[in-house]
Chains A and B, each alone.
Chain A
Amino acid sequence: MTRPAGVSPERLAELADGAPPGDAAERELMALMSEVRDLETTAPDALRARVRTIAAGESEPGRVRWWHEGRRRLLVVAAPVAVGVVALAIAIPAMTGGSGDTAPAGAVSEALQADSAAPAAPEAQADSARTVAPSVAGSPAPGSPTARLRLEVGGAAALTDAVRRARAEVRTLGGTTVSAPGGAGVRRLVVRVPADRAEEALAALGRLGMTTGLGESLPVGESEVTIRVTITTGG
């Protein structure tokens, strides 16, 4: 084994902890450690700014942290509820002898999905339901797993900028923007990204504004994930 000039591991540990060197060999080792330390660079400014933005989330009362901290708990509650609702929707027509043409499962699912501005718990239920029943017509492929993100930005210009950056982020991650309709103060993007980039996509999109809602049920074994991003000006 390569030994640093006859200095034992115990003595080396003392030197690393700041003990003064006793001879030339120890001085050489100290110089080597000092050189390693001096090689280091500080974090680049862009990273520093990014981390400051993240840290600023601490002082935002409630909402962002509530979503992050409570998300798993919400899903633990919402997922069984959604599964129960779907099971009931299947079981009731079977028990009453109905033909099933009225598709109660779809109706329940659509009802759960209806209001994108609904409060937190129903929104989480809707997300869970969406993974069980196909989404409404139009955007995601049938059965495509869906995540939902709601962001708030500072004004109309920031909204336009956030949409532009969101498209760019999605493109960078190998995804596509399916649609981006909107009205005054709001844009609703539907994007698709490769499943293995979904977490990165959520993180990147989440940095475009203040996260006010997040529901995800990321898939196992799927090739693509649909993310619905609602960006508002918060006014």
Chain B
Amino acid sequence: MRAPATRPAFADVAEANLDAVHRYLVHLVGDRHLAEDLTSATFERALRDWRRYDPERGRPSVWLVEIARRVALDHFRRDGRRRAREERYAAGVPEATPGPEGPGGLSGDLRDALGRLTQAEREVVALRVVLGMDAAEAGRVAGMSASAVGTALHRALGKLRQEVARP
């Protein structure tokens, strides 16, 4: 019989995974300051839900990144509602929707190229390349199959390669 996985301390898990969560969010939202706020919110929510974390079901990093994704999506939903409200009352002054910027804090052509990927492509690059998750883990976080993750990564790297090679 397999011994039950031991439960680490939350502080240790937070310390070990802070950079990973932050990097993921920088890629996902494309805004360094927003990513910092969402990182903070992620760990607040993670602490609240810590007793529900089951080490048998996956690594803490995957669990934290799943929470980070929910926090980011909640933010975008709230932001979307706020924008819709403002637009209703402001009678049509078009507000620039923030386009996909390159993840802040990075530099050069590659950052710009990353910024031109779709959000789903940036997310897959973050999960598979930056955080080094395997396809199954990345699929679990992003809500897609492992093969869909492979296809998205393939497409994303193809675009990146082309963008970076462009004179």
A68 touching B48 in the complex, CB below 8 Å, given contacts A13-B135, A44-B36: yes
Please name the residue on chain A nearest to B51 by beta carbon: A69
Query: Contact between A196 and B82 (Cβ–Cβ < 8 Å)?
Result: yes
Does A95 touch B at the CB level, under 8 Å? Answer: no
Among listed A1-9, A127-135, A156-164, interface-contacting one: A1-9
Kindly state whether residue A117 has any CB partner on chain B within 8 Å.
no
Judged by a CB distance under 8 angstroms, whether B19 is at the interface is yes
Q: Please tell me which one of the listed residues A1, A196, A203 contacts residue B78 in the complex, with CB atoms under 8 A apart.
A: A196
Q: Give a binary string over B71-90; 1 marks a CB under 8 Å from any A CB, 0 the rest.
A: 00000001001100100000
A 1-41 binary contact with B (CB < 8 Å = 1; else 0): 11111011110110011000000000011001101110111
Query: In whole angstroms, what is the CA distance A7 to B158 when docked?
Result: 10
In the bound complex, residues from chain A placing their C-beta under 8 Å from that of B158 are 1-4
Expressed in whole angstroms, the Cα–Cα distance for A43 and B39 within the complex equals 9
Q: Does B23 contact A (CB under 8 A)?
A: yes
With A4-B161, A36-B160, A196-B85 known as contacts, the answer to whether A55 contacts B107 (CB < 8 A) is no
B70 lies within 8 A of chain A by Cβ: no
Instruction: Give B107-126 as 1s and 0s: 1 = Cβ < 8 Å from A's Cβ atoms.
Output: 10011001000000000010
Q: Which residue of B lies closest to A13 (CB)?
A: B150
Task: Return the chain B residue nearest A200 by Cβ.
Answer: B37
Docked CA distance A65–B19 (Å)? 25
A55 touching B11 by the CB < 8 A rule? yes
Query: Known interface pairs A9-B154, A13-B135, A56-B11. Does A36 touch B43 (Cβ–Cβ under 8 Å)?
Result: no
The reply to whether the CB of B56 lies closer than 8 angstroms to some CB of chain A is: no
Q: Is the interface on chain A under 10, 10 to 19, 20 to 34, or 35 or more residues? A: 35 or more
* Given known A-B contacts A12-B153, A44-B36, A36 and B162 have beta carbons under 8 A apart: no
> When the two chains form their complex, are residues A16 and B129 in contact, meaning their CB atoms are under 8 A apart?
yes
Residue A102 lies at the interface, judged by CB distance under 8 Å to chain B: no
* Inter-subunit contact B129/A33 (CB<8 Å): yes
* A29 in contact with B161 given A10-B150, A43-B39, A58-B11 (CB within 8 Å): yes
Quick check: A28 and B161 within 8 Å, CB to CB? Answer: yes
> Among the listed A28, A40, A44, A55, which residue makes an inter-chain contact with B10, where contact means beta carbons less than 8 Å apart?
A55
Say whether B155 faces chain A, with CB atoms less than 8 Å apart: yes
B78 neighbours in A (Cβ, 8 Å) = 196, 199
Taking CB atoms and an 8 Å cut-off, the chain A residues in 143-190 that contact chain B are: none
A205 to chain B, nearest CB (A): 13
Indicate if the CB atoms of A16 and B153 lie closer than 8 Å. Answer: yes
| A33-61 interface with B by 8 A CB criterion | 33, 35-37, 39-44, 46-48, 50-52, 54-59
- Given A13-B150, A43-B39, verify A52-B14 contact (CB < 8 Å): yes
Nearest-neighbour CB distance to chain B for A232, whole angstroms, equals 22
Q: Determine the residue in chain A with the shortest Cβ distance to B125.
A: A36
Contact B111 A39 (CB under 8 A): yes
Which positions in A face B, CB cutoff 8 Å? 1-5, 7-10, 12-13, 16-17, 28-29, 32-33, 35-37, 39-44, 46-48, 50-52, 54-59, 65, 68-69, 196, 199, 203
B residues in contact (CB < 8 Å) with A: 9-11, 14-15, 18-19, 22-23, 26, 36, 39-41, 43-44, 47-48, 50-51, 78, 81-82, 85, 103, 105-107, 110-111, 114, 125, 128-130, 134-135, 147, 150-151, 153-155, 157-162, 164
Chosen A-B contacts, 13 in total, with CB atoms closer than 8 Å, are A2-B161, A4-B157, A9-B151, A12-B150, A12-B154, A39-B107, A39-B111, A40-B130, A51-B40, A56-B11, A57-B47, A65-B47, A65-B48
